Amino acid sequence: MSAALPAPRIALNDGHRIPQLGFGVFQVSPDEAERIVGEALDAGYRHIDTAMIYGNEEGVGRAIASRDIPRDELFITTKLFRGDHGHNNALRALPASLERLGLDYVDLYLIHWPAPARNAYVDSWRAFEQMRNEGLARSIGVCNFLPEHLARLQSDAETLPAVNQIELHPLFAQRDLRAYQEPLGIVTESWAPLGQGKYVLDELPGIAEIARRHGKSAAQVILGWHLQQGLVVFPKTVRRERMIENADVFDFVLDDAEMAQLARLDSGTRIGAHPRERN
Ligand code: NDP
């Protein structure tokens, strides 16, 4: 296990705790997922973020089964595909994901997109509450919800999400959404924390100097920026050396001037879909 792991856990609004640093497997084939999740578990990662639509739940499950790690040390997240919205569909989708993962429960089950044109996410959420009560998911949450979608859960459901997993990186810092959800006790998870490889981290203005000052890489500085703000991250990489690099982020602190400098990179530039448009 790397010296930097296991990661610290932070409290959710339902009493459970989530490792603040995990490992994501978007755009990874099942076989590759089995290899890299196995390597990530060997490196000390305990929090894995997958989704039905990534098509690699079986590979993640095989990696978990191949390592002798107590279940309560692991934190496994998967997500409801937007094509499976609706009460009955959701009640079928989680057991199917569990079967592929080879697990009795997930630690966190998320609505992947609100898909507002389908007008079914409140029904899905009621199924989530039921499955949480039945023990199939320890915690339940959402992804890509805007304030208008969270407000509907506030008015029409019993439970607020434990997390909202949203696109968040230095060029898209999501200040307004965080200011809305964090006072409600909803933890923010950053997807594409490293910009999904869509821009060159070393070329972000000022980053090379901050990285040099701390003896860290640009990626480590950016992950530190997330962690210092209380965000949950699970960077994806297929490379073993980067898994270790991405976990070695708990031994430096960015000062206020450095945090402010990184905050100035926010240009409101989304790299993924807009939640109102993904239906
Ligand atoms: P990330 O921001 O994690 O970026 C991944 C890219 O960064 C890959 O190209 C990877 O390349 C590269 N990379 C990783 N580590 C380093 C490093 N140390 N230095 C330089 N480059 C690096 O993007 P993701 O979209 O994968 O986001 C993370 C996770 O968030 C996903 O895997 C998924 O679990 C989740 N997610 C959720 C979404 C949602 O709608 N809820 C949407 C998108 C993602 P390489 O692999 O070659 O190392």
Contact 37, 65 (CB under 8 A): no
The reply to whether 273 falls in a domain is: no
Tell me how many domains the chain contains: 1
pTM: 0.98
Closest residue to atom 3 of ligand 1, CA basis: 235
How confident is the model at residue 1, as a pLDDT?
54
The reply to whether 202 falls in a domain is: yes
Residue 200 CB: number of other CB atoms within 10 A? 10
Q: How far is residue 8 from each of residues 22, 30, 77, 193, 249, measured CA to CA in Å?
A: 10, 28, 17, 18, 11
How confident is the model at residue 19, as a pLDDT?
98
The reply to whether 120 falls in a domain is: yes
Reading the chain (279 residues) residue by residue, the pLDDT tens digits are 565 778 999 999 999 999 999 999 999 999 999 999 999 999 999 999 999 999 999 999 999 999 999 999 999 999 999 999 999 999 999 999 999 999 999 999 999 999 999 999 999 999 999 999 999 999 999 999 999 999 999 999 999 999 999 999 999 999 999 999 999 999 999 999 999 989 999 999 999 999 999 999 999 999 999 999 999 999 999 999 999 999 999 999 999 999 999 999 999 999 999 999 999
Residue 165 pairs in a beta bridge with 143, 189
Contact 267, 23 (CB under 8 A): no
CA 149–ligand 1 middle distance (angstroms): 25
Pocket of ligand 1 contains residue 237 by CB under 6 Å: yes
How confident is the model at residue 5, as a pLDDT?
79
DSSP designation for 271: -
The reply to whether 271 falls in a domain is: no
How confident is the model at residue 3, as a pLDDT?
55
The reply to whether 91 falls in a domain is: yes
Pocket of ligand 1 contains residue 243 by CB under 6 Å: no
- Cα–Cα distance for residue pair 250/230, rounded to 1 Å: 13
Structure tokens at 129: 């509450």
Q: Which residue has the tokens 């630690």?
A: 107
6's CB contacts (< 8 A; 6+ apart) are 19, 44, 46, 73
Pick the catalytic residue from 54, 109, 121, 199: 54
> Catalytic site residue 54?
yes
How confident is the model at residue 191, as a pLDDT?
98
Q: b/e for 56-88, b at 16 or more Cβ within 10 A?
A: bbbbbbbbbeeeeeeeeebbbbbbbbbebbbee
Give the range of the structural domain holding residue 228, as residue numbers without chain letter: 9-263
Please report which residue ranges of the chain form alpha helices under DSSP H. Answer: 30-43, 57-66, 87-101, 121-133, 147-156, 175-181, 207-214, 218-228, 240-247, 256-263
The reply to whether 149 falls in a domain is: yes
How confident is the model at residue 6, as a pLDDT?
80
CATH number at 246 reads 3.20.20.100
Contact 70, 40 (CB under 8 A): no
The reply to whether 100 falls in a domain is: yes
- Cα–Cα distance for residue pair 86/92, rounded to 1 Å: 10
In 3-state terms, what secondary structure has residue 41?
helix
- Cα–Cα distance for residue pair 61/63, rounded to 1 Å: 5
Pocket test for ligand 1, best of 191, 221, 239 (most atoms within 8 A of CB): 191
Residue 268 CB: number of other CB atoms within 10 A? 10
The reply to whether 274 falls in a domain is: no
Closest residue to atom 32 of ligand 1, CA basis: 24
